[in-house]
Amino acid sequence: MSDTSPILPEGAKVVICIRGLRNAFGEEGEQQQVIHDKLDLDVKRGEILGVVGGSGTGKSVLMRSIIGLQTPEDGEIEVLGENMIGREEDEAKNIRRRWGILFQNGALFSTLTVAENVEVPLREYFHLSPTLMDEIAGYKIAMAGLPADAAPKFPSELSGGMVKRAGLARALALDPELLFLDEPTAGLDPIAAQNFDELILSLRDKLDLTVFLITHDLDTLYAICDRVAVLADKKVVAVGTIEQLLALDHPWIQEYFNGPRGRAAAAA
Ligand SMILES: Nc1ncnc2c1ncn2[C@@H]1O[C@H](COP(=O)(O)OP(=O)(O)OP(=O)(O)O)[C@@H](O)[C@H]1O
């Protein structure tokens, strides 16, 4: 199917472009586990792209490839106009500062407070006074919807929803153009998940972000994703609005969106 969506402006700029991606684990041969083969994907500027697929289809490996934590066996990856494969560390560092990442469990440093966690990326790139650092951290913490008194708390003192928001505050530390979210609503109760969805949507609009969002959460897909990319058979088998995906004959897509949970999310 076409990967153009009626929601996106005609000719929207592509900020992530993947061509012919191959990822595999283990020695070449019969034992080798091929995760991606000839995978292509475009993510367009300003969109929230949901990435779905069965467990183990390689959603996280795809994200890790894009952000440079996994070296692909083959293929091309361009992010924000920069080739990501085989870059020198200092070049890669300059590109990395243009995105923020929220890992599945928040990935906060347990020995640092929320404010100190948010300051980690700031320290990596800037030499700022402690007062300015605290001010910026406080601003990001507020942006992520946390109360100011969360700043001096340690991750162990936070609820699951607050941990996600603290991780989001850290992801926003460097004013990113691009946000990667790996299952942001996993483990949240439905109200917290809905609030988090609304936060992502409002941040996208206010900060002009592009969002790459891995999720199993059908409610999130319906509520905030402009387009959805489906991983199956080692590839992105389809990209489009949910309506466009529903028109396809692919068995996994039909089962996912037309199963009882899919229908409930559509009706919500
Ligand atoms: N470093 C690694 N070494 C070996 N195999 C790996 C490694 N990382 C991932 N894999 C394998 O790659 C496959 C895809 O993993 P990945 O975590 O990307 O799946 P996923 O689609 O994100 O799954 P889930 O929805 O369950 O989170 C899995 O079979 C996993 O075991």
Q: Report ipTM for this prediction.
A: 0.97
Give the other-Cβ count within 10 Å of 31's Cβ.
Answer: 8
Å from CA of 61 to ligand 1 middle: 6
Which residues in 245-262 are b (16+ Cβ under 10 Å) and which e? beeeeeebbeebbeeeeb
Answer whether 64 contacts ligand 1 (Cβ < 6 A).
no
- Whether 5 has a pLDDT exceeding 80, the answer reads no
Going by CA atoms, what residue is nearest to atom 27 of ligand 1? 55
Determine the atom of ligand 1 nearest the C-alpha atom of 26: 4
Q: What is the pTM of this model?
A: 0.91
Answer whether 35 contacts ligand 1 (Cβ < 6 A).
yes
3-state secondary structure of 139: helix
3-state secondary structure of 82: strand
Determine the atom of ligand 1 nearest the C-alpha atom of 58: 18
C-alpha angle 198-201-205 in degrees, rounded to nearest 5 = 140
Q: Which of 38, 86, 91, 35 is nearest to 63 (CA)?
A: 35
User: Which of the four pLDDT bands, split at 50, 70 and 90, describes residue 10?
Assistant: low
- Whether 134 has a pLDDT exceeding 60, the answer reads yes
Q: Using one digit for the tens of pLDDT, what is the confidence trace for 15-32?
A: 999 999 999 998 877 788
Indicate the CATH number of 46-69+88-267 among 3.40.190.10, 3.40.50.720, 3.30.70.920, 3.40.50.300. 3.40.50.300
Higher pLDDT, 138 or 87: 138
Residue type present at position 66 = I
Å from CA of 76 to ligand 1 middle: 20
Rounded CA-CA distance 141/260 in Å is 37
Å from CA of 26 to ligand 1 middle: 13
Going by CA atoms, what residue is nearest to atom 26 of ligand 1? 55
Going by CA atoms, what residue is nearest to atom 28 of ligand 1? 56
Determine the atom of ligand 1 nearest the C-alpha atom of 61: 18
User: Which residues, listed in sequence order, are joined to residue 8 by a DSSP beta bridge?
Assistant: none
Going by CA atoms, what residue is nearest to atom 31 of ligand 1? 56
Using the Cα atoms of residue 242, residue 244, residue 246 and residue 248 in order, give the sign of their dihedral.
negative
User: Which of the four pLDDT bands, split at 50, 70 and 90, describes residue 11?
Assistant: low
| Interval 59-72 mean pLDDT | 93
Q: Which of 185, 186, 181, 203 is nearest to 194 (CA)?
A: 185
Answer whether 81 contacts ligand 1 (Cβ < 6 A).
no
Answer whether 52 contacts ligand 1 (Cβ < 6 A).
no
Q: What is the pLDDT of residue 261?
A: 76
Å from CA of 162 to ligand 1 middle: 26
